[in-house]
Amino acid sequence: MKLGFLLMLLAARLPPDMTEDGRKIEQLFDEWRFDEAGAALKVLAQARAGSPEVIYLQGYERYLSGDYPAAVTKLKMASTQAPAAAYIKETLVLAEAAGEAVKGHMEKRSAHFVLRFPPEDAVIADDALEGLEAAVAVLTADLGFVPKRPIYVDIYRNPSDLAAVSTLTEEEVERTGTIALCKWARLMATSPRALRFGYPWLDSLSHELVHYAVSSLSRDRAPVWLQEGLAKFLERRWREPASAELPPSMQHLLAKALASGKLITFEAMHPSMAKLPRAEDAALAFAEVATAVAALHARGGAESLREAIGHVRDGMDARQAVATAASTSWPQFERNWKTFMAAQHYKTFPGLEPVTRKFRKAGALAGKRGPNEDEAVSGADPAARFLRLGNMLLLRNRPRAATVEYEKGAKVAGPSHWLFPVKLGRTYLALGDPEKALKSVAEVQALYPELPWPSLIAGQALLAKGEPAKALLALRQSLATNPFDPTVHCAMADAYHKLPPGPDITPARVARAERHCIELR
């Protein structure tokens, strides 16, 4: 995600003291042609065994294969032999940081993936691998992407780890809300525990997998806007059919831009979307490129996407490639795209306050607690008083009194604030009134799909109402944002028990939900 922030590091630092063969091998690595690069390296290693260049490339190869300790050993050796080579040192720093960031992590494998995660986040492993396998299946079907080697997925405890393993600074990660990356032949993501309200981590992993696929298929030649367009468009494909549906926050921005005619041009997105002046502009640009890909998909289906990527791989300009895949010219494609957007009838949502991704403070991270809805209101907020009072009363089993306080809070906070409806929904559930609970969260659930709690309350309410199938959908959405809440797992286990077994309701899933329900408490 937001790959534009990543400079073409390796390309920018061409090693001057490398042989032509060495440079070629490095380029093959950078074009994600790992098999070819590996074969060429073997030949070179025979010819120039023990040379710093060969050791460096071997280290680089290990790094790209996710074997950081071996990479560090090789790169250190190379650096000792060629102390002046900055590119070796830079790669060594990255490999060391990558190794450090996954130190003490657990590892779990599936058919195509190797997931490394902090032990306290073990709850995400099975769902992550399931989601990724589902995503790779649809990408194989849609884009023809078949992974030829295990894909490493590293989950980091905090954003500073993500910054350390990438070329981004901590400040950039904080400011842009970057939570996942695809680079150096692996997927990297920050644990949803590190964010105040979690984040759609399964969609994000899928998003990064799309980048991986596109980089592999295009030899990493797709520009950022096309990468992001495809990733955004395909990120939910693992769980639902392809569509031009956008989350409310993006719809809102796009609808406003369409109404005012202030869309971000593709020229402005070049060379990096990160260069756009405002975060809002960047968000709008993401929405635009996603709909551009949706428009292409609408016209030619998945085949057109494959074709566009193929043209890019062959060296065609991305815009030209898209237009060619759409069997038209770029200006015409642009016009068609705008018409397509207008046809989607994207809505504005007055009062919508986009949920900004905020990382939790170091103390909260060290506390190893899961995301917490109460962090939505700061102490200085006038509504905070009622939130605390409601919580205190609820904790002392006074739900009726708590609703009075939450209602006061909702009044003070205004209709757009999602927290008090969530709190009221929870309290109504405690009072045994699921209907009222569902009503309370209905609006915020629609407006803020990136939040776990509206879906959780809705799922619990639906379950209480005797609608386990619908409940399961809502609960899965909540789980895909915050997997650390035991109530989600408990409710899911409950729902599973109320539903007949099927491909979605396997004994393994039921057992998992039950286990997590107990373990996370």
Partner 1 sequence: MEEIELIRRFLGAVRRRALLAQALRAAAATVAALLVAFLILGAWAGRVGPAPFWPTLTIAIVLVFLAAGLTWGWIAPSRRLRHERAVASLVGHQVPPLASDLLSAVELAPDSPGISPTITHAFHASVAQAVSPLDPRGLVPLRAAAKMGLLLAATAMVLGLAIWKTDLRRGLSLLVRNPTRFEGAAITGEPLIGDVRIIYTFPAYTGLAARVVEGSTGDLVALKGTKVTLEARLLRSAREARLLFGDAGEAGEGPAAVAKGKLTAALTLRDSGSYRVWLSPRLGRPVREARPHRIVVETDRPPEVEIIGPADRLELPAPRPVEVAYSARDDFGLGAVDLVYRVDEGAEHRLPLKEANGTRSAQGKTLFEVTGVTLPPGARVAYRIEARDRDDVSGTGNTGNVGKTGSSRTLYLTIQNPRENLDEQLQREREILDKLLATLGDRLEMGEPPMAPAAGAAAANGLAYLSSWVAIHDNEESHLALLGRMVDEERRSGSASKTLVNALAGIADRLGKQMREESAQLQGLRGRADQGALTAAAFGKLRSAADKHVVELESAVLLLDDLIGRQRLEDLAALGRELTGAYKRLQDLLARYNSTRDEALKRQLEREMRDLRARIEEMARKIAEVKARNEVSGEWQNMPDMKEAMEKAAKLDQMLEKGDPQSMSKALAELGSTLEQLQRMLDKNADDFGSDRFPQENKLATEMMKKLGDLEGDQRSVAGDSQGLAGEVDQEVQKRLKGEADKLLNGIKEKAEALRKKLGTSAPREAGEVARDELERSQEAAKQLKRLIPAQELAEAKKETERLSGSLKRMRRSLDDRATWRKQQSPSTEAFSAEMADAQKLAQELQDDLSKLVPRPEEAMSQQQRERSRGLGERQGSLQERGRQLADEMGKKAGGIPGADRTGEELKSIAERMGEAGGDLQRGSAKEGAGKAQEAADRLAKLRDGMGKRQMGRSQASREPVRIPGADESKAPREWRAELMEAMRERAPERFREEVRRYYEELVK
The least distance separating partner 1 from the CB of residue 487, rounded to whole angstroms, comes to: 15
Q: Which is nearer to partner 1, 279 or 362 (CB)?
A: 362
Closer CB to partner 1, residue 9 or residue 389?
Answer: 389
Instruction: From residue 458, give the alpha-carbon distance in Å to each of 193, 195, 408, 502.
Output: 22, 22, 22, 23
> Which residues on adjacent β-strands are paired with residue 113?
151
**Among positions 358, 398, 465, 515, the unique one binding partner 1 when judged by CB under 8 A:** 398
User: Looking at beta carbons only, is 42 or 398 nearer to partner 1?
Assistant: 398
Q: Could you give the 3-state DSSP secondary structure of residue 82?
A: coil
Task: Output the six-digit token pair for 365.
Answer: 């991270």
- Could you say whether residue 363 binds partner 1 (CB under 8 A)? yes
Q: What are phi and psi of 485, to 5 degrees?
A: -90, 115
Q: Which residue has the tokens 């921005």?
A: 253
d(CA 102, CA 326): 43
* HSE value, Cβ hemisphere, 13 Å, CA-based, for 368: 6
Residue 362 sits in the site that holds partner 1 (CB under 8 A):
yes
Residue span binding partner 1 (CB under 8 A) among the ranges 51-59, 363-371, 441-449, 490-498: 363-371
The Cα 329–Cα 319 span in angstroms is: 9
Nearer to partner 1, 279 or 392 (CB): 392
Which CB sits closer to partner 1, 398 or 498? Answer: 398
Say whether residue 239 binds partner 1 (CB under 8 A).
Answer: no
Kindly tell me which of 71 and 402 has the beta carbon lying closer to partner 1: 402
Q: Show the CA angle centred on residue 340, arms to residues 335 and 345, nearest 5°.
A: 130
Binding of partner 1 by 23 (CB under 8 A): no
Q: Show the binding pattern over residues 404-423: x = contacts partner 1 (CB under 8 A), - = does not.
A: xx------------------
CA–CA distances in Å: residue 127 to residues 1, 23, 159, 162, 249: 20, 40, 22, 21, 26
Q: Calculate the dihedral angle through the C-alpha atoms of 127, 131, 134, 135, rounding to the nearest 10 degrees.
A: -170
Instruction: Candidates 31-39, 58-66, 361-369, 444-452: pick the segment binding partner 1 (CB under 8 A).
Output: 361-369
Question: Is residue 367 part of the contact set for partner 1 (CB under 8 A)?
Answer: yes
Q: How far is the CB of 400 from partner 1 (least distance, A)?
A: 5
Alpha helices in 191-344 (DSSP H): 201-218, 224-234, 248-260, 266-269, 279-313, 318-325, 330-344
485 binds partner 1 (CB under 8 A): no
Beta bridge partners of residue 156, listed in sequence order: 190
Q: Give the amino acid at 167.
A: T
| Among residues 400, 432, 446, 469, the one that binds partner 1 under rule CB under 8 A | 400
Is 104 among the residues that bind partner 1 (CB under 8 A)? no
Stretch that binds partner 1, among 13-21, 151-159, 364-372, 484-492 (CB under 8 A): 364-372
Provide the minimum distance between the beta carbon of 389 and partner 1 in the complex, in angstroms, as a whole number.
6
Q: How many residues bind partner 1 (CB under 8 A)?
A: 26
- Minimal distance, residue 28 CB to partner 1, in Å: 43
Q: How far is the CB of 485 from partner 1 (least distance, A)?
A: 12
508 binds partner 1 (CB under 8 A): no
Over the window 374 to 393, marking each residue x when it contacts partner 1 by CB under 8 A and - when it does not, the resulting string is: xx---xx----x--xx-xxx
Q: Are 414 and 430 in contact (CB under 8 A)?
A: no
Our CA angle for 100, 101, 103, nearest 5°, is 60
Question: How far apart, in whole angstroms, are the C-alpha atoms of residue 366 and residue 343?
Answer: 48
Binding piece for partner 1, criterion CB under 8 A, among 20-28, 41-49, 368-376, 495-503: 368-376
Residues within the interface to partner 1 (CB under 8 A): 361-364, 366-369, 372, 374-375, 379-380, 385, 388-389, 391-393, 395-396, 398, 400-401, 404-405
